[in-house]
Structure 1
């Protein structure tokens, strides 16, 4: 019986010591703050990337419209030349 009592006290002593650190509230706040900072930086980077892509695409469209206007002007000139020959 004495041996059994000794085992119980040793088990309770072992259970009272923990190797896991208690989780603090600051860790949750830090994790949330890190997440928000990461999302904000990623969003800002994506915004500027998409803005740059939009500008490039817009410049291409404007150049195509200018080329189309020039082509139409040349076609109108050619048609007027053909009509004046008749």
Structure 2
């Protein structure tokens, strides 16, 4: 029995080595697996997210600028209208005061001197 196991030992060791070999090491299997054809490989652009982020930022900041500009322009127009109304009322008040002074001067000129 001892001689029988001694005779089978080299066979068992060769099969254990063969079972441990990787598939890519075998020349036939390596050629069978091979590389896919070049047309099937797609190359992804890695800058798509970055480009989308920049475009999104520019669109967002442009919209924010346009909104704030419109709001400020409307506020400026309202304030300008209020200021123009104040100037018009000031002009009317000055004209009334000037007319009253003229009236007083005319009355003083017509009054008899003592």
- Choose between structure 1 and 2: higher helix proportion: 1
| 2:81 is equivalent to residue 49 of structure 1 | no
Aligned length: 65
1:24-35 correspondence to structure 2 within 5 Å = 24-35=50-61
User: How far off its partner does 1:28 sit?
Assistant: 1.0
Please list every run of 5 or more consecutive structure 2 residues that lacks an aligned counterpart in the other structure. Answer: 1-47
User: How far off its partner does 1:26 sit?
Assistant: 1.2
Structure number with greater Rg is 2
Q: CA separation in 1, counterparts of 2:91 and 2:107? A: 24
Please list every run of 5 or more consecutive structure 1 residues that lacks an aligned counterpart in the other structure. Answer: 1-21
Residues 23-58 of structure 1: CA deviation (Å, up to 9, x unaligned): 431111011000000000000100000111001011
Residues 4-33 of structure 1: CA deviation (Å, up to 9, x unaligned): xxxxxxxxxxxxxxxxxx843111101100
| 2:89 is equivalent to residue 63 of structure 1 | yes
TM-score, reference length from structure 1: 0.71
TM-score, reference length from structure 2: 0.54
